[in-house]
Amino acid sequence: MKGNASVIRAYEKSVLATYRRAPVALVRGRGSWVWDADGKRYLDLFPGFGAGALGHCHPRVVAAVRTQVGRLIHVSNAYFNPLQAELAALLLRQAGFGGRAFFCNSGAEANEAAIKLARRWFQVIRKEPRSRIVSVTDSFHGRTLGALSATGQAVYRRGFAPLPGGFVRVRAGDRKAMARAVDRRTAAVIIEPVLGEGGVKPHAPGYLKFVRALARKRGALLILDEVQTGCGRTGTFFAFRQLGVVPDLVTLSKPVAGGLPMGAMLVRDRYARGLEPGTHASTFGGSNLVCAAGLAAVRTATSPAVRANVRARAAQFRAGLEAIRKRHPKLVTDVRGMGLMLGVGLSRPAAGVVARCRELGVLLNAPKKKVLRMLPAMTIRPAEVKLGLSILEKALAEEDSRPKGARSRRAKARRPPPGRSRR
Ligand SMILES: *Cc1c(COP(=O)(O)O)cnc(C)c1O
């Protein structure tokens, strides 16, 4: 088998450089562990950018895919597919608001579907000229042009003008700005329950309830983007179920099919006619193979054992990270998040810590310059959390003992070329 270096050289020749990749080619995984092409093993505290919520190659997902792949991989949505109906019912039961599901292949597509549904609901069904979509700064909703227009971080939008119009972005947490932005022209507000790419930032208490009430009062729909928070990671299948808000539409993706590409948009019955036959589609959306994986993944994610593990491991992580913060109060500014969605604020750039952790055999990420993020598998074991915390603390202690502004020679060599996007 080829080693890391030869894979990296092959990329340099043929793959578009849309990512700043870590110099590691991953070739095998099991649970919270992955192996690179040189045979080195890593504890993965950030599997698949959140898509690996059941860890790598969960046996139930693998078994479901193995069975289905030999039976029927894909039929178009011009026919019925029993697995899609079953998965839709399962997801809607978790949402608890009745409704209907639409399946696509990614988070961005799920948000596109939600935006299109909201606009068409008003323009065609209600016959009201509402088109505006309101979102917040530091949000992330995906890379397609519509989802990008909703995305609150200017760095992702730069250079792609003209983007679709009718999008308004206001400062997250600023109630007055939100109240000014949501009016009779507003079709929907789209917001994440916890800002993920924006740096693992929960909203101020009561803010989401305020947004919910405001949207209702002004006659606009509320779309919750649960692409990152969804599927059990926060302690409930949907984060909104602990936050005291019920959306009109909710989007899912990342882990919903256990690591296979799937997006889903759920909408309350009342608005379901927003998309009617012929108005929206996806060739691969909700195909047989992916739905078989989705059924296995959702059943596993909602099992009592996994739910109990999320609660216990989240408490273990929080306590461990708080203890690290107390031992390194100058470097670690705060610990935040919800369930197994964890952010650590630093007073210095996080990139060196991420790289050092990787050398020491632990994978995590930095969504913002001074924030570390972990989205560990919901199946992670107590000993794995303990090991991850101890290696993270070692990397943090080294950073803490380095004179301010100084970098290790290695960190200098590793430094990515100038630019702002971290993905
Ligand atoms: C990752 C993410 C998306 C985009 O998902 P893709 O599958 O990459 O299109 C959208 N919203 C949120 C909150 C995300 O974290």
Tens-digit pLDDT profile for residues 302-342: 999 999 999 999 999 999 999 999 999 999 999 999 999 99
**DSSP readout, 25-91?**
-EEEEEBTEEEETTS-EEEESSGGGGTTTT-BT-HHHHHHHHHHHTT-S---TTS--HHHHHHHHHH
Tokens of 111: 């948000």
Least reliable range by pLDDT among 110-119, 126-135, 201-210, 406-415 = 406-415
Contact 375, 49 (CB under 8 A): yes
Number of separate helices (H) and strands (E) present in the chain: 14, 17
Residue 354 CB less than 6 A away from ligand 1:
no
Q: Please indicate whether residue 81, judged by its CB atom, sits closer than 6 Å to ligand 1.
A: no
Distance, in Å, from the CA atom of 214 to the CA atom of 218, rounded to the nearest integer, reads 6
Cis peptide before 23 (omega within 30 of 0): no
pLDDT at 420 over 90: no
Would you say residue 18 has pLDDT above 80? yes
Q: Which of 139, 151, 197, 260 to mutate to test the pocket of ligand 1 (most atoms within 8 A of CB)?
A: 197
pLDDT at 421 over 70: no
How many other CB atoms are found less than 10 A from the CB of residue 208?
Answer: 23
Domains of the chain, residue spans: 61-301
Type and span of the H or E element at 353: helix 351-359
Overall CATH class of domain 61-301: alpha beta
- Whether 196 lines ligand 1, by a CB cut-off of 6 Å, is yes
Ligand 1 neighbourhood includes 203 CB (under 6 angstroms): no
Q: Is the CB of 156 under 6 A from ligand 1?
A: no
pLDDT value of position 406: 65
Mean pLDDT, rounded, for 41-68: 98
pLDDT tens per residue, range 220-244: 999 999 999 999 999 999 999 999 9
Query: Which residue has the CA at smallest separation from atom 10 of ligand 1?
Result: 141
Residue 159 CA, ligand 1 centroid: distance in Å = 20
Residue 369 or residue 411, greater confidence = 369
pLDDT digits over 354-406, tens only? 999 999 999 999 999 999 999 999 999 999 999 999 999 999 999 999 887 66
Inter-residue contact 96 to 241 (CB < 8 Å): yes
pTM of the model as a whole: 0.95
Distance of alpha carbon 120 from alpha carbon 333, whole angstroms: 45
Tell me what the mean pLDDT of segment 142-160 comes to.
96
The verdict on the CB of residue 229 being under 6 Å from ligand 1 is: no
Give the model confidence (pLDDT) of 254-276 as tens digits. Answer: 999 999 999 999 999 999 999 99
Distance (angstroms) between ligand 1 centre and the Cα of 248 equals 19
Query: Does ligand 1 lie within 6 Å of residue 108's CB atom?
Result: yes
Write down the pLDDT at residue 423. 38
* Cα 223 → chain centroid: 15
Report which ligand 1 atom has the smallest distance to the Cα of 229.
13
pLDDT band at 1 (very low <50, low <70, confident <90, very high): low
CB atoms under 10 Å from CB of 2, counted, come to 13
Cα(226) to centroid(ligand 1), Å: 9
Ligand 1 contacts CB of residue 227 (under 6 A): yes
Percentage of the chain with pLDDT > 90? 94
Beta strand residue intervals within 280-374, DSSP E: 332-338, 341-346, 362-363, 365-368, 371-374
Q: Is the CB of 151 under 6 A from ligand 1?
A: no
pLDDT in tens, 86-105: 999 999 999 999 999 999 99
What is the chain's mean pLDDT, rounded? 95
Q: Is 138 in the pocket of ligand 1 (CB under 6 A)?
A: no
